[in-house]
Structure 1
Amino acid sequence: MKSYHRVLAIAGSDSGGGAGIQADIKAISACGCFATTAITAITAQNTVGVLDIHPIPIDTLKKQMEAVLGDIGTDCVKIGMLHNSETILTVQEVLGRFQITNIVLDPVMVATSGNQLLQSEAIETLKHVLIPAVRVITPNLPEAEILLGEKILHQDDFPYGLSSLVKDTRCRFC
């Protein structure tokens, strides 16, 4: 019997199917892995923009994660849209309790359409609570600028700016 690497995707649901948990499931499956999920928010969005964001109740998010981690387990976690500080703190608490260390963070902050997906007050929580616990962070240029609090003027400066963000953390790759 073939065994599959298990990947827990923690992210928002994109009704347009082009991002979020829907895209994560497709990518994980295309890599030959088994996808499990915990939904952080339900969005009403399409190629034009984000019409609405409905965060999942924290207790429900926690139960989704505990259901997967307590039974199926995971080999790694991929985190996407978290939306607010309470969600970030909950995700970190549950992953810490289950001693999950293989974590990839895509710090989803702004949709391609320009709509804000991470509340402004949650940026510091993300930087100080979650980023120190991840192995890999994959911000795009606008997300990196938000995390650093400064403009990255040249593409060549992108990796150097991020190295200051992850200094003294477990994060090995950006």
Structure 2
Amino acid sequence: MKIVLNICKAGWQRLVFSPMLGIVIGILGCSGEPGPVRVSGSVVSEKDAGLGEVSVVFFPMDSKARTAMTMTLTDGTFSLDVFPGQYGLGFSRMRGGKTLQNFMSPASQQTQEYKDMVKEGKGGIPPKNTLPEKYIDAKTSGFEMTVQPRVQPAVQFKLPVAE
């Protein structure tokens, strides 16, 4: 009788754990699709000076890829995870602009510019892109990259910009 109970217990555990194993494998993925790959690099001027605070956007050129975006550090370097695929790249570097908060001061010191913005219901002066406009759009930037499903070597993108 004791042997029969042990067999029943073992059978019960197999019935419970086998489907659970299938669920775990399904959740973790077994599809064979590659996961994201780390892409590191830098954005530099024509004089090889690192360009900080540049938005770098990877626009997918095929349906397998996904859009990814990052911002360069002050030395011009960046790092992000991107799914394998073919990408067009876009760049922008926004500078300047003011929000109403930048204008906050005692009423006696408020500028006419501040008063006009409040009157018109504007949120501030928008920043301007300091890179040539063609670099914003992946179709006109002239930069493309293929991300392979393995470790990527560091990349460098050279942009004409007034430093």
Structure (1 or 2) with the greater helix fraction: 1
**Higher RCO by CA contacts (8 Å cutoff, separation 6 or greater):** 2
The TM-score range, normalised by the shorter chain, is under 0.3
For normalisation by structure 1, the TM-score amounts to 0.20
Structure (1 or 2) with the greater strand fraction: 2
For normalisation by structure 2, the TM-score amounts to 0.21
